[in-house]
């Protein structure tokens, strides 16, 4: 059996690639645009996003929330878990763009993704962070252990960590066939864009035996064998693809 070539990711000098990608797509979304970010932490991306209405959700903000409210009086800040937000605080509005950068575990991220689908419309876009682990250590669910094991076993001081969020992509491909997605692998950290295409390609599921779904079996070697199914694409072409879909939607 021949396996696809593993893609080496080069991080761009442009630091906030997330805000750059999000703003590029918000430019073509009908105004006023409504934006939701799950996993805000320092607010580095959130405050650089240009949207008329923005909602930030994180259990622990590492910035001064009162100063954030003064700087952006139209923004909303919820210092709670994403589960609590969707269950008790979401007011039923549909967001035009949702950025998921919360807990780096497949189960929480997939739950956030499914809840986000309820809070979107047919032209909404979802951006998923940390879906492409850089090595076997970075896909450890525990961040501290991931860094320590890399230092101990590979003598590598890198703190790269993605968790097992990569497992969400096979779930999307298997259980959400009417959604389209692609994974940006250039000009910054890899991220997946998900949207409702007017003409979905209906790809065959990666997980053929869903009746015996075994998420622990989707280890790093599984990822290496199946990475091409993540629909790898450069940033420019990915944004053009989604923009075309938005315009036709």
Instruction: Give the CATH architecture of domain 17-248.
Output: 3-Layer(aba) Sandwich (3.40)
Q: On the CB side of 119, how many CA atoms lie within 13 Å of its CA?
A: 27
What is the pLDDT, as a whole number, of residue 212?
55
CB atoms within 10 A of CB 229: 16
What is the pLDDT, as a whole number, of residue 181?
95
Q: Burial of 201 by CB count in 10 Å (0-12 exposed, 13-18 middle, 19+ buried)?
A: exposed
Report residue 205's pLDDT band, with 50, 70 and 90 as the boundaries: confident
Strand 34-38 relative to strand 95-100, pairing: parallel
State the average pLDDT for the chain.
Answer: 90
Q: Check residues 7 and 40 and name the one with the higher pLDDT.
A: 40
pLDDT tens profile 117-149: 999 999 999 999 999 999 999 999 999 999 999
What is the pLDDT, as a whole number, of residue 208?
65
What is the pLDDT, as a whole number, of residue 9?
38
């Amino acid at each position: 059996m021949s396996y696809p070539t593993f893609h080496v990711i080069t991080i761009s000098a442009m630091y906030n690639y997330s805000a750059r990608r999000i703003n590029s797509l918000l430019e073509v979304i009908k105004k006023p645009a409504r934006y939701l970010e799950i996993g805000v932490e320092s607010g580095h991306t959130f405050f650089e996003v240009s949207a008329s209405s923005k909602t930030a959700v994180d259990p622990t903000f590492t910035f001064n929330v009162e100063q954030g409210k003064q700087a952006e009086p139209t923004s909303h800040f919820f210092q709670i878990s994403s589960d609590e937000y969707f269950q008790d605080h979401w007011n039923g509005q549909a967001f035009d763009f949702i950025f998921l950068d919360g807990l780096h575990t497949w189960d929480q991220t997939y739950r956030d993704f499914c809840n986000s689908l309820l809070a979107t419309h047919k032209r909404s876009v979802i951006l998923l962070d940390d879906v492409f682990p850089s090595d076997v250590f970075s896909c450890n669910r525990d961040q501290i252990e991931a860094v320590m094991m890399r230092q101990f076993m590979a003598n590598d001081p890198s703190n790269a960590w993605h968790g097992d969020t990569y497992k969400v992509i096979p779930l999307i491909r298997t259980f959400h066939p009417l959604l389209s997605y692609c994974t940006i692998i250039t000009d910054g950290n890899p991220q997946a864009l998900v949207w409702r295409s007017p003409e979905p390609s209906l790809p065959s599921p990666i997980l053929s035996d869903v009746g015996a779904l075994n998420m622990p079996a989707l280890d790093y070697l599984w990822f290496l064998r199946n990475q091409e199914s993540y629909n790898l694409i450069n940033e420019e072409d990915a944004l053009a693809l989604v923009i075309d879909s938005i315009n036709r939607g």
